Amino acid sequence: MEDFIENWLKELTVQRSYSDNTVNSYRRDIMDFKNFLLNHLGENPSVESLKKLKISDFRSWFSHRINRELSPRSNVRALSAVKSFFNYLAKKELLDTKVINLVKRPKLPNLLPKPIEEESLLVFLDLDFFFDNDPDWVTCRDRALYSLLYCCGLRINEALNIKTKEVDHEIRILGKGKKDRIVMLLPLVLERINAYIFSCPHDLSDGFLFVGVKGKRLHASLVDYRLRKLRVLHNLPDHASAHAFRHSFATHLIQHGADLRSVQELLGHESLSSTQIYTDVDDYNLLKVYAKTHPLEKS
């Protein structure tokens, strides 16, 4: 079974152009499923044992995940991973998918993305320093990174994968599903990136643009760790994260009149429905303003 898993993951990477993050998540999900079956069936699972699974076995697997307090979103992804693996085996005529196709995906709560309030975000980006004990070049780095995330609506790993030699007024970004898009840098953001490059003690010319104190590529986990601390220091909302800059980019553009199709292209969304949620955020904000400012509310 291990060989089938490895070949399936390879197909996702090479033929279907899944991102590294998605493939790694699917690997974890299928191994979690395999470990569950080991205990559930009392034997090391094989393709032959997969053929004999009933709907009750899949329900037991979901109950096991729910008891571990895994999120609905995580459970939806895990089911997608297992279905994808079963479809791979079905293409090789090793089993059929009749039973697993009866498994319904869990309902996801209708959670709207949470942007950072525009004025608070602009004030934050103009701070003289983020941590008072940071070297000046680290402050320059963080300001350039946060400004880039907000300027272009990048995912954090898209930003951290940029090479210094790629920096220009336009940058080609390799997004999810290996899909390319072009993003434009506003003059202020390009100025901040250049200020960081000039101040950085490490040679950035042949490597990644954003590096840590040892000169190695900056990791997303460190960025979010620092942002968690900055929430308290600079009165940022609890949801402030690297991804919140992307949400803020899209929400603020729509609030200022950008059309949905353009925002879709800028975000690199495959489907317009993925971008549609930002109009829902705008509608929600409008209702909050209405409830706060209507004369009857004040009376």
Residue range 122-135, pLDDT digits in tens: 999 999 999 999 99
Instruction: Give the domain-ending residue among 54, 77, 102.
Output: 102
Sign of CA dihedral 90, 95, 101, 104: negative
Same domain, 155 and 256: yes
Same domain, 208 and 67: no
Same domain, 184 and 237: yes
Same domain, 95 and 147: no
Given this model, what pLDDT does residue 143 score?
96
Lowest-confidence region among 84-88, 117-121, 286-290: 286-290
Binning pLDDT at 50, 70 and 90, where does residue 1 land?
confident
Q: Is residue 17 part of a domain?
A: yes
Reported as a single tens digit per residue, the pLDDT across 24-36 is 889 999 999 999 9
Q: Is residue 43 part of a domain?
A: yes
Q: Is the pLDDT of residue 256 over 60?
A: yes
Given this model, what pLDDT does residue 285 score?
55
Which residues, 6 or more positions from 143, have their beta carbon under 8 angstroms from its beta carbon? Answer: 125, 127, 130, 192, 196
Query: What token pair was written down for 131?
Result: 């941590």
Reported as a single tens digit per residue, the pLDDT across 176-211 is 766 788 888 999 999 999 999 999 999 999 899 999
| Mean pLDDT across 235-258 | 88
Number of independent structural domains in the chain = 2
Rounded to 10 deg, the angle between the 242-255 and 118-125 helix axes is 130
Q: Rounded to whole angstroms, how far apart are CA atoms 191 and 48? A: 61
Q: Is residue 297 part of a domain?
A: no
Instruction: Give the domain-ending residue among 73, 102, 131.
Output: 102
Catalytic residue among 65, 141, 246, 252: 246
Mean per-residue pLDDT of the chain: 86
Which CATH number fits the domain that encloses residue 54?
1.10.150.130
Residue found by looking up tokens 């470990």 in the block: 35
Same domain, 56 and 191: no
Apex CA 188: angle with CA 186 and CA 189, to 5°? 65
| Mean pLDDT across 201-225 | 93
Q: Is the pLDDT of residue 287 over 80?
A: no
Q: Is residue 298 part of a domain?
A: no
Catalytic residue among 65, 155, 247, 252: 155
Reported as a single tens digit per residue, the pLDDT across 51-97 is 999 999 999 998 898 888 888 878 888 999 999 999 999 999 999 88
**H-run or E-run covering 181:** strand 180-184
Same domain, 186 and 271: yes
Query: What token pair was written down for 149?
Result: 């995330």
Binning pLDDT at 50, 70 and 90, where does residue 114 land?
confident
Q: Is the pLDDT of residue 9 over 90?
A: yes
Q: Is the pLDDT of residue 270 over 80?
A: no
Reported as a single tens digit per residue, the pLDDT across 244-255 is 999 998 888 888
**H-run or E-run covering 253:** helix 242-255
| Mean pLDDT across 286-291 | 50
Same domain, 203 and 124: yes
Same domain, 91 and 184: no
Higher pLDDT, 17 or 168: 168
Same domain, 179 and 286: yes
CB 126 within 8 A of CB 137: no
The DSSP 8-state label assigned to residue 86 in this structure reads H
Same domain, 181 and 34: no
DSSP string, 271-298: SHHHHHHHHHHHHHHHHHHHHHH-HHHH
| Mean pLDDT across 245-271 | 84
Task: Decide: pTM greater than 0.75.
Answer: no
Instruction: Give the domain-ending residue among 76, 102, 128.
Output: 102
Q: Is residue 260 part of a domain?
A: yes
Given this model, what pLDDT does residue 250 score?
87
Nearest Cα neighbor of 148 from 239, 246, 218 is 246
Catalytic residue among 176, 219, 226, 234: 176
Given this model, what pLDDT does residue 269 score?
78
Query: What token pair was written down for 123?
Result: 């004030």
Given this model, what pLDDT does residue 111 score?
62
β-bridge partners, 211: 217
Same domain, 143 and 34: no
Quote the domain boundaries for residue 53.
2-102
Q: Is residue 126 part of a domain?
A: yes
Given this model, what pLDDT does residue 294 score?
45
Three-state DSSP state, 208: strand
Q: Is the pLDDT of residue 100 over 70?
A: yes
| Mean pLDDT across 92-114 | 81
Q: Rounded to whole angstroms, how far apart are CA atoms 280 and 295? A: 25
User: Is 10 an annotated catalytic residue?
Assistant: no
Given this model, what pLDDT does residue 288 score?
55
User: Is 202 an annotated catalytic residue?
Assistant: no
- Provide the percentage of residues in the chain whose pLDDT is more than 90: 47
Letter string b/e over residues 136-158, b meaning 16 or more CB atoms within 10 A of that residue's CB: ebbbbbbbbbbbbbbbbbbbbbb
User: Is 243 an annotated catalytic residue?
Assistant: yes
Q: Is residue 44 part of a domain?
A: yes
Which residues, 6 or more positions from 210, have their beta carbon under 8 angstroms from its beta carbon? Answer: 141, 144, 145, 159, 160, 162, 217, 218
Same domain, 258 and 130: yes
Q: Rounded to whole angstroms, how far apart are CA atoms 194 and 199? A: 9
| Mean pLDDT across 214-236 | 91
